[in-house]
Chain A
Amino acid sequence: MRWMWIDRFTEFLPGKRAVAIKNVSLAEEHVHDHYEAFPMHPASLMIEGMAQTGGILVGQMTNFQEKVVLAKVTKAEFDDIVCPGDQLTYEADMESFAREAASIRGVVRKNGNPIGTVDLMFSHVDQNLAGTKFPEENFVFTGSFQRMVAPFLEGGDG
C-alpha cells in the first residue's frame, strides 16, 4: 500500500494553491498505537499530509518530471488535537518556485476551523548542488498521486 496521507483534492490551481482533505478513522491502525487509551492522529502525519498536498502542487509545475522531496520543515505549529471522526483540510499556497527548490505556506484545518500552520520547503533532488545522482525512475510521483490530481488538470484522465 502506498504511503498516502491525503484522501482527495478539493481544489487545485496549478502553480498557486492546492487543498486536500483527510478523514481520520478509527479503522486506521496508527491511531490505536497513538494512543491505545486515547486514539489521535499524530502531528507528524499532519506534516506529511501537508507535504503530500504541497509536494504535488510543486511537482505539477514541471509536469511531474522532477523528483520533489521534502527538504525542510520551516514551521509546524498545532493548536489542537485531531481524533477519529475529524476531517482535516490541508491548504497549501505556493510561495516560491525555482529550478532547485520550492516553498509553500500551509494552513491545517480541523472540521473547517484553522488549527495549525505548516510551512515547508521542497528540493528537486536531481538539481542538488553536490551533483549526487539519483535513479532515473521518478520514485516520488507514481501513478497513484497523479491520478488524484488528474481531474483538476486540463485534459486529465481522472
Chain B
Amino acid sequence: MTETEVFAKVQETLVDALGVDDDEVTPQATLTGDLGAESIDFLDIVFRLEKAFNIKIPRGELFPDNILNNPEFVQNGRLTDAGLKELRQRMPHADLTEFEKNPDINKMADLFKVQTIVNYIVGKLAA
C-alpha cells in the first residue's frame, strides 16, 4: 500500500470518527486543534484504524501515554531532556523539529497531526 493510499484511508477514518469534511483532513491538520478531537475520539480513531488496516495497535503506541504524568519527564510545564528522549523513542512517527525548540507540554497536542498517523501506519504495514 502506498503512502497516498494510506492517507486516503486515514482521511476516510477521520471523517467518520470526527464528523469533519474530507477537505479539512490535510496532512498538517492537528487532531485536536484543527479537527476538534477530544480524548474519547483518540480511542475511536484507534478502533477504526485497526479495522481499516487490519492491524493491532497496542495502547500508547500511536498516542503515547504515561509521559506527562511522570515528574522525571516534565518540569515547569516543559518536557525535560529525558522527556524529549523518551518522546523521540516512543513517537518515531512524529515530526518533533518544531516542538523540540520549545517543548511546552501545552503544545504537545500539535504533534498529533494527520501525517503523524499516516507515518505510523506506513511503518506498521512495513514491519
Q: Identify the A interface with B (CB < 8 A).
A: 71-72, 74-75, 95-96, 98-101, 103, 121, 123, 129, 131
Residues of A near B17 (CB, < 8 A) are 74
**Contact of B39 with A by CB under 8 A:** yes
Tell me, in angstroms, the Cα distance from A123 to B59 when the chains sit together. Answer: 15
Say whether A101 contacts B40, CB under 8 Å: yes
Say whether B43 contacts A101, CB under 8 Å: yes
**Contact of B120 with A by CB under 8 A:** no
Please name the residue on chain B nearest to A131 by beta carbon. Answer: B69
B interface residue count range (under 10 / 10 to 19 / 20 to 34 / 35 or more): 10 to 19
**Contact of B47 with A by CB under 8 A:** yes
Among B17, B47, B69, which residue has the most Cβ atoms of chain A within 10 A?
B47
Residues of A near B65 (CB, < 8 A) are 129
Can you list 8 pairs linking A and B with CB atoms under 8 Å apart? A72-B40, A72-B44, A74-B17, A99-B59, A101-B40, A101-B47, A121-B43, A131-B69
Tell me, in angstroms, the Cα distance from A71 to B44 when the chains sit together. Answer: 10
Please name the residue on chain B nearest to A122 by beta carbon. Answer: B40
Residues of B near A74 (CB, < 8 A) are 16-17, 19, 44
Say whether B51 contacts A121, CB under 8 Å: no
Residues of A near B43 (CB, < 8 A) are 98, 100-101, 121
**Contact of B95 with A by CB under 8 A:** no
Please name the residue on chain B nearest to A119 by beta carbon. Answer: B16
Please name the residue on chain B nearest to A128 by beta carbon. Answer: B39
Among B17, B43, B47, B65, which residue has the most Cβ atoms of chain A within 10 A?
B43
